[in-house]
Amino acid sequence: MSKIAEDLLYSESHEWVKVDGNVAIIGVSDFAQGEMGDITYVEMPDLDDEISAGDDFGALESVKTSSELVAPVSGKVIARNDVLEDEPERINEDPYGAWIIKVEMADKSELDALLNASAYAELVK
Amino acid sequence: MGAFSYFPQTGEDIRTMLEKIGAGSLDDLYADVPADFIYKGEYDLPSALSEQQVRDFFESLAAKNTQLKVFVGQGAYDHYTPSVIPYITSRSEFLTAYTPYQCEISQGTLRYIFEWQSMICRLTGLDCANASMYDGPTAAAEAMRLCVANAKKRRSVIVSARLLPNVIDTIRTYAKYAGINVVVTDKVQEEVAEGVLDLAGVIVPSINRFGVIESHLGLADLVHQMGALLVEYCDPSALAVVKSPAEWGADIAVGDGQSLGIPLCFGGPYVGFMACTAALMRKLPGRIVGQTVDASGKRCYVLTLQAREQHIRREKATSNICSNESLMALWCTVYLSLMGPEGMRRLNALCYEGAHYLHDALVATGKFERIFEADFLKEFCLKPLCDVEKLQQALLDAGFFAALQTEEGYVTFCVTEKHTREEMDRIIEIVKSI
Amino acid sequence: MKYYDKLIFELSKPGRIGFSLPDSICRASEAVAPAGACRPRQGRGGTTSVVGSEEIGEFCDPAKLTDSCDSPRGEQPRCKAVIWREAPLDLPEVSEVDVVRHYTNLSQMNFGVDTGFYPLGSCTMKYNPKINEEIANLPGFAGLHPLQPESTTKGALEVYVGMDKALAAITGMKHFTFLPCAGAHGELTGLMLMREYHMSRGDLARTKVIVPDSAHGTNPASAAVCGLDIVVVKSGENGLVDVEALKPLLGPDIAGIMLTNPNTLGLFERDIKQIAELVHACGGLLYYDGANMNPLLGVVRPGDMGFDIMHLNLHKTFSTPHGGGGPGAGPVGVSDKVLPFLHIPRVSGFHGNFGVILRAYAYILMLGREHIKLAGKLATLGANYIKESLKDCYKLPIPTVCKHEFVFDGLLDDNGVSTLDVAKRLLDYGFHAPTIYFPLLFHQAIMIEPTETESLETLDAFIAVMRKIAEEAKADPELLHGAPHNTPIGRPDETTAARQPVLKYE
């Protein structure tokens, strides 16, 4: 049974979003990391890249699979968690601590389309 | 129809197997195929031959080819093949092995690929190399794709007009369908400086199609200022003595391993190579072998970074390549092991010596003019002052393939360590007689 | 197989050599040429592009080279120092015997078709006849330069003409191009031809290609490299392309469909006639992925099924050795419709992998029109025999008659034993593993393809081992989780390999 952090929003493609003012902090859920197995690489966008909701913004790689990271919101990338470059296993160890990027949101109303913790729990049940 | 040596099933075996399956005949196994599609005609093929007949047939075909002393390069170089190499590569454990996905029973293949990658890195001076590409031209085309993938939205690539024509054509083919804008130019430095807006990469030869060893002084900085990558197309044999891609500041090196002792064989199989800087490692196309340990801590080798590849990432893979030229990479690895640094240096010195001997003697006949001042290694180009067709025919009649004409009407020659003074003197005599 | 630990670099000792080269190629043989005789120098402009002799580089140092190469030193050297390599070249320094022993030892950690049986789905690892190797090494072929004039390569050109005719007869296509060096390269070439066909008609909106969810990974990857977008059509319950799901995908933006038939489940796409009609009616073309051609060899011709373009894997269907991953050859055949475009894409350097084409041609001539009729059928017979012999121990999701291959979905009674465990345990018993976790339609896929060159005894031995493994799974699952036990190495740490890649010897 995977863990679900209560105070976050979730996408159907298993990214989580923590809202901090106009900034969305994005990572992947415990369920996602469990499905992937040992994560070997995190492909991240560059700083200042514009990402749009529903499009890929990077990918997670494990030995035998890869999974696209799908942007839950649109906006500009203002920070990347560069520690993951060398230590991708942090996502396995602490999926809700190991954020991937921070995005300055272009349209906060996009958050409305995301799932809350209990709806996401239903999804991955 | 009688039994056949590649099919071990006896009539009784077939009956036993059909019985287990519950089928009445072999045809029953195709009952799900619409009857229209079962081919009922006689296949328009020759009647089966015995092994000796097959041998005779191919020997007679081979006899229809003329074996010539090859004094032409242009992407396929007639270097000597040490006898150790075909002996090793024909070992059936290498020859008949599958792709090394099952690493526990493929350490032989994986180990030589790791050695090949290491040697390509040492020749090019770059950080990582893949397990091989089909040939040099396709490796160049893949390098173009890598530049574009790396640059995200930029889609123009400047390509030196002094690359071999088959390299340029292959690049253009790959570019055409992928919507990549290829600018072929004689003036690479100027074109880059001019600042094509969406420049992703620049591809230049280390030694160009005229045999001239190019200087790329300052080019890498300029290309990098434009936010693009520099790709160098090289002859790996020559890299033992000419400046390496890393020394020029290139990001990617590609080329054909054929010059590392692979027989001419009418153009293939050869082997492409690709090396790049560490920053581009995860964008390399094709297979890559990495070192690790097994459960008991023994050093071992595996196919790694597979998440880049088509069998995992499908349409988002860095390339569609699956089968490569693994056995030819072994060929080159054994070659480089035998030659070592001293052998490679001496080999190039022999080529240099011979090519300059022939070059100077040809110019001295007065039938050719020099075109380029810059130095060359084993291949060179001259402007003919005589009837080229007549010359080529006279050379052919004497058993030489030499003086191949370029699109500009120049003629090219190539001398390797396989050639002799006597052969060159004979060529010079023929030239004088034209 | 014995574990051997060395890399060639670790055998290196300064001063050792493994080569043998002449001292000079300019000196007249047996006679000592006068100093400088080999370099008859004409006066040459010592222009600004030409600098001092010492800069030719160490490699041209006469003391270390040939005693007849000393003349340029006092004369007009013609190179810029800048073009020569300064970085040391750190290749191994080993003797010839070191090289032979090292690579022989490496080879002994390898499994090949000549070692044992490969039940490898979608890869057609059949026996590689030895006569083919001898043919490919005939000096009259191996010594040909690819740019030699046609008058001197008539025999080589006859090989291409003969192969073209033979492959056309076998497949029902019109003509072939031999430039592609592998199956995926053939797919790419074929899709380029598909695009040329549409472009020639001004039909520029056709930028999508349909690929079934069971397709080989190269199909979508090749389409992407060719600038096409992929539309996935799903398989029905019976494992075949769902024609009803296909219909709504067809339209003016569809360039074509890529199919392998039989598909990757080993099932013949029996609706192919209807599929061809539907795709053609919408203006698209049909591409045949020849990776699964073997069961149709001598039985069914893709051209007759309505395919417009196809590739063949000579290293699968036509018996050329896989070489540990290559070289292969992927000739592409076309119907009349596509013929005008066949020679437009220049996808490789010269004439394709001639050496591989020669081997395949020798194989076809050995088969002849008589034996070819049994090749596909015997392959299909073997696959069905294994399937029927093991379906009481392994989960068979689609029980109908298969072609050259079929797919189990793990053990019937798995006891926590995965497909990976079964595959690794097979290595202990001297068999190569099947293709696993593909196709993606099942979670525990085990894809088995025997080929027609395996005897009943070999198949029986494989079946017995597969049954034994099923028993071991019940009795001692730990044994299987830890397999293989008898191979030169055990399971590797692939995670560390991918997280901290070590890709070269330092």
Specify whether the CB–CB gap between C148 and B401 falls below 8 A: yes
All structural domains of chain B: 11-51 (no CATH), 69-80+340-433 (3.90.1150.10), 84-333 (3.40.640.10)
Please, what is the average pLDDT of chain B? 96
Question: Cα Rg for chain C, rounded, in angstroms?
Answer: 28
> What b/e sequence results for B380-394 when a residue is b if at least 16 CB atoms lie within 10 Å of its CB, and e otherwise?
bbbebebebeebbeb
pLDDT per residue as tens digits for the range B12-53: 999 999 999 999 999 999 999 999 999 999 999 999 999 999
Specify whether the CB–CB gap between B330 and B94 falls below 8 A: yes
Of C125, C455, C90, the C-alpha closest to B119 is C90
* Alpha carbon B254 to chain centroid, angstroms: 9
C140: three-class secondary structure by DSSP: helix
Measured CA to CA, the distance from residue B135 to residue B128 in angstroms comes to 18
Instruction: Quickly list DSSP for B199-261.
Output: EEEEEEESB-TTSBBPP-TTHHHHHHHTT-EEEEEE-TTGGGTBPPHHHHT-SEEEEEGGGTT
Specify whether the CB–CB gap between B162 and B202 falls below 8 A: no
Token pair for B243: 């400046």
Q: What per-residue confidence (pLDDT) applies to B312?
A: 83
Chain A residues touching residue B306 (CB < 8 angstroms): 63-64
B278 Cβ under 8 Å from any chain C Cβ: no
Give the distance between the most distant pair of CA atoms in chain B: 83
C208 Cβ under 8 Å from any chain B Cβ: no
Contact assignment for C495 to A38 by CB distance below 8 Å: yes
Q: Which of B1, B5, B6 to mutate to test the interface with C (most CBs of C within 10 A)?
A: B6
Measured CA to CA, the distance from residue C324 to residue C343 in angstroms comes to 30
Average of per-residue pLDDT across B183-203: 92
* Dihedral of alpha carbons C68, C74, C79, C80, sign: positive
Residue B179 phi/psi, 5° resolution? 70, 35
B159 has a pLDDT exceeding 70: yes
- List of residues 6+ apart from B289 with CB closer than 8 A: B100, B110, B113, B114, B117, B131, B301, B302, B303, B304, C503
Residue in chain A lying closest to C493 (CA): A63
Q: Which of C418, C438, C494, C499 to mutate to test the interface with A (most CBs of A within 10 A)?
A: C499
Contact assignment for A65 to B312 by CB distance below 8 Å: yes
Class for the domain spanning C375-481: alpha beta
Chain C residues touching residue B345 (CB < 8 angstroms): 58-59, 64, 89
Measured CA to CA, the distance from residue B39 to residue B37 in angstroms comes to 6
Measured CA to CA, the distance from residue C44 to residue B370 in angstroms comes to 9
pTM score, whole prediction = 0.94
- Per-residue pLDDT tens, chain C, 506 aa: give them: 899 999 999 999 999 999 999 988 887 654 433 333 334 333 333 322 222 233 334 344 433 333 333 334 333 334 446 899 999 999 999 999 999 999 999 999 999 999 999 999 989 999 999 999 999 999 999 999 999 999 999 999 999 999 999 999 999 999 999 999 999 999 999 999 999 999 999 999 999 999 999 899 899 999 999 999 999 999 998 999 999 999 999 999 999 999 999 999 999 999 999 999 999 999 999 999 999 999 999 999 999 999 999 999 999 999 999 999 999 999 999 999 999 999 999 999 999 999 999 999 999 999 999 999 999 999 999 999 999 999 999 999 999 999 999 999 999 999 999 999 999 999 999 999 999 998 888 899 999 999 999 999 999 999 999 999 999 999 999 999 999 999 999 999 999 999 999 999 99
Specify whether the CB–CB gap between B238 and C59 falls below 8 A: no
Separation in Å, CA of C8 to nearest CA in chain A: 28
Q: Amino acid identity of C431?
A: F
Contact assignment for B307 to A68 by CB distance below 8 Å: no
* Dihedral of alpha carbons C182, C184, C185, C189, sign: positive
Measured CA to CA, the distance from residue C36 to residue C44 in angstroms comes to 16
Contact assignment for A63 to C437 by CB distance below 8 Å: no
Classify residue C221 as left (phi > 0), alpha (psi -120 to 50) or beta.
Answer: alpha
A32 has a pLDDT exceeding 80: yes
Measured CA to CA, the distance from residue C191 to residue C224 in angstroms comes to 10
Banded pLDDT at B311 (limits 50, 70, 90)? confident
According to DSSP, residue C416 is labeled T
Measured CA to CA, the distance from residue C144 to residue B65 in angstroms comes to 8
Q: Amino acid identity of B430?
A: I
Q: Which of B103, B281, B312 to mutate to test the interface with A (most CBs of A within 10 A)?
A: B312
Average of per-residue pLDDT across B353-374: 95
Helix residue ranges per DSSP H, C395-493: 419-428, 456-475, 477-481
Of A105, A122, A100, the C-alpha closest to A15 is A100
A67 Cβ under 8 Å from any chain C Cβ: no
According to DSSP, residue B294 is labeled B
C452 Cβ under 8 Å from any chain B Cβ: yes
Banded pLDDT at B152 (limits 50, 70, 90)? confident
B17 Cβ under 8 Å from any chain C Cβ: yes
Number of Cβ within a 10 Å radius of residue C397? 16
Token pair for C400: 């109908």
Domain locations along chain A: 9-110
Q: Amino acid identity of B56?
A: D
pLDDT per residue as tens digits for the range A57-107: 999 999 888 999 999 999 999 999 999 999 999 999 999 999 999 999 999
Beta bridge partners of residue A74, listed in sequence order? none
Type and span of the H or E element at C192: helix C183-200
CATH number for the segment(s) C130-367: 3.40.640.10
- List of residues 6+ apart from C249 with CB closer than 8 A: C210, C231, C233
Residue in chain B lying closest to A40 (CA): B305
B320 Cβ under 8 Å from any chain C Cβ: yes
Token pair for C293: 């051609």
CATH topology of domain A9-110: OB fold (Dihydrolipoamide Acetyltransferase, E2P) (2.40.50)
Give the distance between the most distant pair of CA atoms in chain A: 38
Establish whether the linkage from the previous residue to A88 is cis, with ω within 30° of 0. Answer: no
- List of residues 6+ apart from C406 with CB closer than 8 A: C265, C266, C383, C384, C386, C387, C396, C398, C447, C448
Contact assignment for C184 to B322 by CB distance below 8 Å: yes
pLDDT per residue as tens digits for the range B79-117: 999 999 999 999 999 999 999 999 999 999 999 999 999
Size of the A and C interface in Cβ pairs below 8 Å: 16
Torsion of CA B287, C452, C158, C357, to 10 degrees: 10
